[in-house]
Structures are given as structure tokens and as C-alpha cells.
A and B are shown apart, each in its own frame.
Chain A
Amino acid sequence: MHAARKRRITEWIIRNTFLVLSMISILILGLIALFLFQEGLPLFRSVSLREFLLGRFWYPTYAPPEFGIFPLIMASVTVTLISSLIAVPLGIFSAIYVAELASVRIKEIVKPVIELLAAIPSVVIGFFGMTVMAPLMQEILDIPTGLNVLNASLMLALMAIPTISSISEDALHSVRRELREASYALGANRWETISRVVFPSALSGISTAVILGMSRAIGETMVVLMVCGGAAIVPDSLFDSCRPLPASIAAEMAEAPFRGMHYHALFATGIVLFFITLGFNIVADHLANKYKQVGTATL
């Protein structure tokens, strides 16, 4: 009797401790969002949403200032897309290799190495891009500047590959053994099994991996700040410099007069970035639910 009561109390305490802890993190997140909107929205008293999102010129410190972030949005979108073009095939194929083809010994080496790639601080990748990759690119391709869209995309791909690869690998790994065995039993060879059975059933996990990799690339600040060149133009070639949203915020926030128009404009840029990454996360969540692997009979 006594022991049962004691256990109930302990359980109550544990449950509520966890409740409070999770509430705290939700509260903090909410406060950050609140702060972001509170500091960003005042901009729209003097600049229309259309001017802000579609304006071609970003001259925040001039009189009169111009707050058009269209070139910055395009820069973010471009480097994210091109880095995905590089990182998605590499990430997924390396995941397939590790999960399906590699021998145990090779797997034990390759998997940790790919995961180690994720542990490289972004400032180191940025520094590599700036001091090694940029001069090399300029030399070999004979272009005016090595700080350009292509260089930034390569560096961002380097950061997205481990995310995409390790999450995809987990998804492939969790495909049930019965599916593979059934496929082989029907006479399919290894390639047919991977491409028509294992890969499709892991698709939801792989899509999540891709989206998370992309949202890592779009939110990344240090690399694009160091490697993009920072010109606020809509890039029209791989070798143009550009200025993604996070780079602009990071570079200018320290110097923007407190609660001035420029300050509010940078927070408004933060809101745009917030919605973009939120969109990515919603898509990832949706994909994960839509193609959820349920039991062995899903195919």
C-alpha cells in the first residue's frame, strides 16, 4: 500500500519535471519568435512588404535608404539549390553504398568519417573556401573572383553531405529484412532490389534527409559570409559574387544603429529567413508522415 503510494508520487514528480522542462524550451522558442517579430515588423511602417521583398537594391545606410532584399533572397535560393544539386546525389549514393554494398570493415571506416565531416566547424570550412578554394578556382578557371556562387555552393555541399548521408543511411538501414529477402526470392538481383524495393521504402526518410540538408545550407551563416563575396546583386552566372540573407544580417547587425530603420530591416530579413526554414521543416515533417513506413506490407 505504502510502496504503491510512494511510486505514484515519484511518477507524478518525474512527469511534471519533464513537463516543466519541455514547457521552458517551448517558452524560450516562443519568446525568440516574439522578439524577432517585435523588432522586425516596425520596418513596415515605412517600407511596404512588396518593396521589401521585391526591391532590387539594398542600400540600407544611404539617405534615402533602400531596403530591397530580392537579390539577397535570390542569392540564398541559388546557393542552396546548387549546393543541393551537388550534395543530394553524393549524400544519397554514399548512404546506399554504406548501408547496402560496403563490407563491414569498410563500413566501419567510411561511416564515422562521413559523420566526422559534420563535426568540422563551419568557420573552418569557410576559411578553407576563402584561402584555398578561391585562389585555386581563380587560377584554374581564369575568372575575376574566386568568392562566388560556385565556391559557396561547394562549401555548403560539404556541410550538407554528412547530414543527408547519415539520415538517409539510417532510413535505408531501417528497411525490413523481409522486404529484401522477398525481393531476392522473386529472382531480383542486387541492383533491382536496391533501386525498386529498398530505396522506395526508405523514401520518406531520405526526403527528410534532403530537406534537412537543404535547410542547413540555407541557414548557414559563416560559410556564406566568408565565401560568397557579398555583392548584393541577383547572380546570373556561377562565377558572380552574391550576398545571401544570413550573411547580410551577420555582417551588418553590429553596425546598425539600435532601433533604427536598418536595424528593423535586418530583423525583418530574419523573419523572412525564419519563414523559409519553417517552410522547409513543415515540408520535411509532411513528407515523413505521408510516406511513413508502416509494417512490412506497405509496398
Chain B
Amino acid sequence: MNFKKMLGTCWCAASLTIASGALAGNLVIKGSTTVLPIAQKAAEDFMKKNPSTSISVSGGGSGEGVKAIIDGTCDIATSSRDMKPEELTLAKEKGAEIVKHSVAMDCVAPVVHPDNKVTGLTLEQLKDIYMGKIRNWKEVGGDDKPIVVVSRDTSSGTFEIWHEKVLKKEKVTPEAQMSASSGAVAQIVSKNRFAIGYVGIGYINKDLKAVPVNGVRATPETALDGSFPVSRALYFFTRGELKDDIKAFVEFVLSDDGQKIVLEEGFVPLKK
């Protein structure tokens, strides 16, 4: 009798361990440097609430994240772009079923040095500047100074939205300075009176002047209602059937608390 009871207790304890084990995993999140601040902050808050889950977050770029989720070396890939056709094919070849979750909106705004007199640009002017057709600030209402075009690398997610919405798939001038991160673009433009660059609205600070496009300022409101022309969705990609802890984390990011983080990090929440 006594022995049976003991066995019962053991069984209970064991099943309890298994049950709680569902949320006691190690989550690996990898991908876009644009989404990094959101994922980082969300992971910290999530771990505070669920101390048994440990989450590691790293950057590397959208492509790196997608690569990792296809290979199964991460649990969640963050990305500032949708998957490319060749990546989808590769995923299919490797038998990885990828699920897409939109988590926030991002709004990419052109920025100049605070001393720059230009008060607004049209999409066409931006396109001509980035194609190297407009080369002097006086052509768009500024001083008689050469324009230094600063762009993100052609393989970054931020470049992709600019390429699509501003350049309309035309080639960026080879004279453009290509920077490896949004932080570097912000840094260069804040130090150079002749420069123009573009960054997500999370990167705009007092050292940069955001230029309205077609008369519309880049704000959370204009990004959500679609009136600001250069905005995009940010994604989490997951693989196959969701494990409980992955599901819990994605749900947390989409919850009110999670979306508050999105707002605090300078991005646009999906709903108010």
C-alpha cells in the first residue's frame, strides 16, 4: 500500500516535470537587425514572466535568419522582408514548412543633417537623387552643395523596401555610399551636412532631420493608414508545428504588452 502510494507520488512528480517542461525550453531567435530591438526587449520581458524559458536573440540580417529557419538552426527567424521565391523553393526541398507572422509595421523615412534647409521631397525627387540624376541640393530647394547619397547595402531588407517603393526597381547610382547597418547610416548622415540617407523611424533622433515625402511626415499614424508611401510589415517566421514555448512567445509579441514594446522601440504597432 505504502509502496503504491510512493509510486503514485513519483508518477505525479514526473508528469508535473514533463508538463512544466513544455515552457522550459531554449528559444533561439535570429535575423533582421531592424527587428532586433523588438525581439530583444520582448525576449527580456517574456523571460521575466516565464523564468524557466531562456531565449537567445541575435542579429545577422533577414537573409541569415531565413537561412537559419530553413536549416532548423533557430526557432524563430525575424525578417524585414517576405521570403524570396528561391528561399521558398529551398525550404520545400528541405521539407521545412515555414509559417509567417506579421508582428509590426516599419516606416522607412529619408533623413538629412539637421542643418539642411530642404523641407520636403517628392517620391520622384527621391528616386532621381538615388539614381544620381539630381546631384545638387539647390535642385530640390536647398543650398548649392553636392548631394552625398547614402544607402543601405543592396542585400539588406531596408534597402529592399526603398528599392521597391522609392527607386521603383531602378538601379541605385554606383556613387552611392553603401552602409552595412541602419546605425551606420544614421551616424554618417548626422555627421555630414551634404548627406541624405534613409532609416526606419526607430532610428530617427535629434541629430537627424526626417524629410516629409509627398508632404506626408513619417509617423506611426501615417504608416498604419498607408498614407506614408515607404512602409512595410515586419515578420517572424516559424517552422512547422509550433512548440508551446514558441507559440507562447509569438502570442506575447502580438499581445497588448508586446505591441507596446513595438511602439517603445520606435516601430508601428499593428493595432492601437
Residue numbers of A with Cβ under 8 A of B are 57-62, 71, 130-131, 134-135, 138, 144-147, 225-226, 229-233, 241, 243, 250-252, 254-260, 262
CB nearest to B32 among chain A residues: A255
Given A135-B191, A146-B192, also A255-B175 (CB < 8 A): no
Flag if B191 contacts A134 (CB, 8 Å): yes
11 contacts between A and B (CB under 8 A): A130-B184, A130-B187, A135-B192, A145-B148, A145-B177, A145-B194, A146-B192, A250-B180, A251-B178, A255-B156, A262-B155
B162 to chain A minimum Cβ distance, whole angstroms, is: 12
Instruction: List chain A residues, Cβ under 8 A from B184.
Output: 130, 226
CA distance A257 to B61 in the complex (A): 11
For residues 163 through 178 of chain B, which have their beta carbon under 8 Å from a beta carbon of chain A? 169, 171, 174-178
Instruction: List chain A residues, Cβ under 8 A from B145.
Output: 144
Flag if A252 contacts B155 (CB, 8 Å): yes
Flag if B155 contacts A61 (CB, 8 Å): yes
Q: Is B86 an interface residue (CB 8 A)?
A: yes
Query: Interface SS of chain A: helix, strand, loop or mixed?
Result: loop
Flag if B177 contacts A231 (CB, 8 Å): yes
CA distance A226 to B177 in the complex (A): 11
A120 to chain B minimum Cβ distance, whole angstroms, is: 20
Instruction: List chain B residues, Cβ under 8 A from A226.
Output: 184
Q: Which of B67, B178, B191, B194 has the most CB of A within 10 A?
A: B178
Q: Is B60 an interface residue (CB 8 A)?
A: yes
The listed residue (A71, A230, A233) touching B179 by CB distance below 8 A is A230
A62 to chain B minimum Cβ distance, whole angstroms, is: 6
The listed residue (A138, A231, A259, A260) touching B175 by CB distance below 8 A is A231
CA distance A229 to B61 in the complex (A): 20
Residue numbers of B with Cβ under 8 A of A are 60-64, 66-67, 70, 84, 86-87, 90, 145-146, 148, 153-157, 159, 169, 171, 174-180, 184, 187-188, 191-192, 194-195
Flag if B188 contacts A147 (CB, 8 Å): yes
B191 to chain A minimum Cβ distance, whole angstroms, is: 5
CA distance A199 to B187 in the complex (A): 46
Given A147-B177, A250-B180, A259-B90, also A138-B192 (CB < 8 A): yes
CA distance A262 to B156 in the complex (A): 13
CA distance A147 to B153 in the complex (A): 16
The listed residue (A61, A130, A131) touching B154 by CB distance below 8 A is A61
Flag if A144 contacts B180 (CB, 8 Å): no
Query: Interface SS of chain B: helix, strand, loop or mixed?
Result: mixed
Instruction: List chain B residues, Cβ under 8 A from A252.
Output: 153-155
Flag if A260 contacts B86 (CB, 8 Å): yes
Given A144-B148, A145-B148, A147-B188, also A60-B179 (CB < 8 A): no
B267 to chain A minimum Cβ distance, whole angstroms, is: 20
Instruction: List chain B residues, Cβ under 8 A from A256.
Output: 63, 155
Identify the 7 closest CB pairs spanning chains A and B, nearest first.
A255-B155, A230-B178, A254-B61, A255-B63, A229-B177, A251-B180, A255-B61
Flag if A232 contacts B179 (CB, 8 Å): no
CA distance A69 to B261 in the complex (A): 42
Flag if B154 contacts A254 (CB, 8 Å): no
Given A62-B171, A254-B60, A257-B63, also A231-B178 (CB < 8 A): yes
Instruction: List chain A residues, Cβ under 8 A from B87.
Output: 257-258
Flag if B153 contacts A144 (CB, 8 Å): no
A266 to chain B minimum Cβ distance, whole angstroms, is: 9
A67 to chain B minimum Cβ distance, whole angstroms, is: 12
CB nearest to B90 among chain A residues: A258
A110 to chain B minimum Cβ distance, whole angstroms, is: 34
Flag if B175 contacts A233 (CB, 8 Å): yes
Q: Which of A135, A225, A229, A255 has the most CB of B within 10 A?
A: A255
Instruction: List chain B residues, Cβ under 8 A from A145.
Output: 148, 177, 192, 194-195
With A61-B154, A62-B154, A230-B179 already in contact, 14 other A-B pairs whose C-beta atoms are closer than 8 Å: A57-B174, A61-B155, A62-B169, A130-B187, A134-B192, A144-B145, A144-B148, A144-B194, A145-B195, A232-B178, A255-B157, A257-B63, A258-B90, A262-B155
CB nearest to A225 among chain B residues: B180
Instruction: List chain A residues, Cβ under 8 A from B177.
Output: 145, 147, 229-231, 241
Instruction: List chain A residues, Cβ under 8 A from B159.
Output: 61
CB nearest to A147 among chain B residues: B177
Given A147-B188, A226-B184, also A258-B174 (CB < 8 A): no
Instruction: List chain B residues, Cβ under 8 A from A258.
Output: 63, 67, 70, 87, 90
A268 to chain B minimum Cβ distance, whole angstroms, is: 16
Flag if A60 contacts B176 (CB, 8 Å): no
